[in-house]
């Protein structure tokens, strides 16, 4: 039983607390990436068992409806929301970004980052090269915080 307790504590700190504190953020590592999570928010792994992707939520500790979902995998359902306008796009330094701007009417934001140059074990391609992020029914302040979180994503380990 002590082994299971130790394993739980090690996994909790390895997944949720991995990284160093910097200012008012903690830095977490997920697959190839590092991501800054602001204080007052918690990163939760909600990946189903046996999935070939990773799914996380960043949730405000005070207001659980203030939530950003982030999918790491190669087969995102993008776009997941109904948008009337076409997405914006940009590219540079090994990443292509396709995104919809924050929509005031329903508090939505959504986008996808596609990274190149990532490898997985002995394969030339990684199962985690796409990041789909989305939030709905969040206020403008939360939407801006979430976009800063997404902008903080960097490749920490290109070869897993």
Which residue ranges form the domains of the chain, and what is each CATH number? 2-155 (3.40.1000)
The predicted structure's pLDDT at residue 124: 80
Return the bridge partners of 21, or none. Answer: 26
The predicted structure's pLDDT at residue 55: 96
The predicted structure's pLDDT at residue 51: 92
| Structural contact between residues 103 and 111, judged by C-beta atoms closer than 8 angstroms | no
| Of 148 and 11, the one with more pLDDT | 148
User: DSSP secondary-structure letter at 18?
Assistant: -
The predicted structure's pLDDT at residue 5: 39
The predicted structure's pLDDT at residue 23: 57
What's the rounded mean pLDDT across residues 130-137?
Answer: 97
- The burial class, CB within 10 Å (0-12 / 13-18 / 19+), for 142 is buried
What's the rounded mean pLDDT across residues 139-152?
Answer: 94
Q: What percent of the chain shows pLDDT beyond 90? A: 73
Which of 138, 114, 129 lies closest to 160, judged by CA?
A: 129
- The burial class, CB within 10 Å (0-12 / 13-18 / 19+), for 100 is buried
| Structural contact between residues 53 and 127, judged by C-beta atoms closer than 8 angstroms | yes
| Of 93 and 33, the one with more pLDDT | 33
pLDDT digits (tens, 9 = 90+) for 43-70: 999 999 999 999 999 999 998 889 999 9
Average pLDDT, the chain: 86
SS (HEC) of 121-136: CCECCCCCCEEEEEEC
């Amino acid at each position: 039983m002590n082994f299971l307790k130790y394993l739980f504590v090690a996994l909790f700190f390895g997944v949720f607390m991995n990284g160093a504190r910097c200012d008012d953020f903690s830095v977490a590592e997920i697959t190839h990436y590092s991501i800054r999570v602001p204080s007052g928010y918690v990163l939760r792994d909600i990946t189903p068992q046996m999935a070939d992707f990773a799914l996380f939520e960043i949730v405000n500790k005070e207001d659980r409806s203030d939530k950003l979902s982030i999918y790491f995998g190669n087969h995102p359902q993008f776009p997941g929301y109904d948008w009337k306008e076409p997405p914006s796009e940009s590219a540079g330094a090994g990443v292509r970004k396709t995104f919809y701007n924050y929509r005031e009417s329903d508090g939505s934001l959504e986008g996808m980052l596609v990274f190149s140059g990532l490898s997985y074990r002995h394969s030339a391609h990684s199962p985690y090269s796409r990041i789909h992020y989305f939030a709905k029914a969040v206020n403008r302040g939360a939407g801006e915080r979430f976009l800063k979180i997404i902008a903080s994503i960097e490749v920490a380990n290109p070869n897993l």
